[in-house]
Structure 1
């Protein structure tokens, strides 16, 4: 449907462009109808012209979007890459940083989880930052609050263990489930659960949501790699290709 709309817009522009060889406003109705008929006949005989023009238009729009995203990343670089409230793992001295906005209840985040881990392990030179971005309801918020509280209480290693457990959790999210999860990881469930509703935890989520809004992020997973914003799930091979391209440039 998008391609059809773009095609119609391109055809319409033939009749309104200031660069057109003819001034349609000075034509008679008969001349205008004949002229439009010739264009219609040409396009019907050569429909590939429309698709070629649409492809050029889409490429141009993609380039404009990439430039806009790069500017957004640059403006928000400190909050993306230097936020002390976000988990950082992988190679902390890596030459490339990957940021993921994640919701633990998101099916595509779950699908991406193992592939992101494979990317980081196989590459060996990527710093990985996680932004808690709960957008799918109360269970998502509870999960993020628990993970953030675990990090505040027990540090990055505990956060990583909790995060890995939450992304694969198949049951509902409630206090008994979270308490059992904490106990299974040898964490103090009482302390973490008490921390979950603190202003500190609320502030982290609010800051991440505000950052997401500034970056025009509306879904998860969303990744920032280099100066690119990658919206949605990407298979491992594509992430590796993008990483290679960023390094090559």
Structure 2
């Protein structure tokens, strides 16, 4: 996989091992900085984040953005291609993007569940680098809409439908630039204590787990009104 499969697999495994559990201790301390519920009426774990770390997100390489650059509110999703809850989240984010064109959404890879997830993330980053956010957004939708485990080969097959030769994507995906981009995305997730996928950053608040589209829409509306996820 990705030019040298052995080297690619080893590199992907290393990323999962070194960053996947780094934020667990912080995440275990999550309570409710704001009293917000999910679509089923259950409390959503959330915490306020250090502004200096949140400020680093904008400078990350390889983030897939949808929506206006000058949007007043940006919702970041930290996700894993093999997270079952991320499948529901993906469908809801697609609907949210369509219904709220003033919102900016940023997709950040956090493949903490498996080596296969890291493989798919590398393919996604290669597509992002080669074709930009619109193509990477399309790949995200397609992969998370399909059943079964997602790995590098299935991600490559999906990328091929975008008109990219597998060999080209493999070469980009195995580059040092992509490796460092994925490592930096996972590192900031760990620094923020985002050990659950999906997790979100909205303003200076982190949300653990997918609260559902209605709850997300309420929090986004509150963020616009009072710069908090609940006014």
Which category of TM-score, normalised to the shorter sequence, fits these structures? 0.7 to 0.9
- Residues 188, 124 of structure 1: alpha-carbon distance in 2 compared, 3 angstrom cutoff: same
The question of 1:132 aligning with 2:109 is answered: yes
**Structure 2 unaligned residues grouped into runs of 5+:** 1-30, 37-45, 227-231
Contact residue 81 and residue 129 of structure 1 kept, 8 A:
no
Match among 74, 98, 103 for residue 121 of structure 1? 98
1:79–1:65 distance in 2 versus 1, CA, 3 Å: farther
Aligned CA RMSD, in angstroms, stands at: 2.3
Query: Any gaps of 5 or more consecutive residues in structure 1?
Result: 1-60
The answer as to whether partners of 1:99 and 1:225 remain within 8 angstroms in 2 is yes
Q: CA deviation at 1:145?
A: 0.6
Structure-2 change in CA distance of 1:225 and 1:149 (3 Å): same
* More RCO (CA 8 Å, sep 6+): 2
Is residue 62 from structure 1 mapped to residue 32 from structure 2 by the alignment?
yes
Distance 1:116 1:69 in 2: 21
Contact 1:143–1:166 (CA under 8 A) maintained in structure 2: no
Change (3 A) 1:112 1:173: closer
Cα distance in 1 for partners of 2:73, 2:100 equals: 10
SS state at 1:109 partner? helix
Give CA deviations for 1:213-241 in whole Å, capped at 9, x if unaligned: 11111110000112211110111110111
- 8 Å CA contact 1:131–1:208 kept in 2: the answer is yes
Q: 1:123 to 1:176 in 2, by over 3 A?
A: closer
Tell me the equivalent position of 1:42. none
* Distance of 1:134 and 1:235 partners within structure 2: 21
Is 2:123 the counterpart of 1:146?
yes
- Gap change, CA 1:179 and 1:86, over 3 Å in 2: closer
Displacement of 1:101 in angstroms is: 0.2
> TM-score, normalising length from structure 1?
0.68
Instruction: Give me the TM-score of the superposition, normalised by structure 2.
Output: 0.73
Q: Deviations over 1:47-95 (max 9, x none)?
A: xxxxxxxxxxxxxx633999x94342x1113322333431111222211
The correspondence for 1:167, drawn from 141, 144, 149, is 144
